[in-house]
Amino acid sequence: MKIALITHIESDLNNLNTQLNTIKMLEDKLECRLYEKEAIKCFTCWRKNAGWLKDIPIYCLCATKNIISEDTKKQLALLNVNYIEDYNEDT
């Protein structure tokens, strides 16, 4: 049986929280949740805590023009995450 984790990523252009949550976060002076940073947190936790699935291949696709930073690409490589940048006009 072959298993892989397939995900999507975009650059840190938008806060992942809803507008209402963002206003609340600003009031509480909490950190915004951004796509690239959240992806790194997710993959780091996966590699550490996913039990027998922790070493499966991870594919992370960016199908929009909102490509990620070079720093994030390096971090993904260190986590053995296969980053694929393939713009799709439908996105």
- From residue 32, alpha-carbon distances to 9, 10, 28, 89 in Å are 17, 15, 11, 29
What are the tokens at 85? 């940048």
What pTM does this model have? 0.77
> What are the strands of the beta sheet with 81-85, ordered from one edge?
5-8, 58-62, 81-85
Q: Which sequence spans correspond to the domains of the chain?
A: 5-85
28-85 pLDDT per residue, tens: 555 667 788 889 999 999 999 999 999 999 999 999 888 999 999 999 999 999 999 9
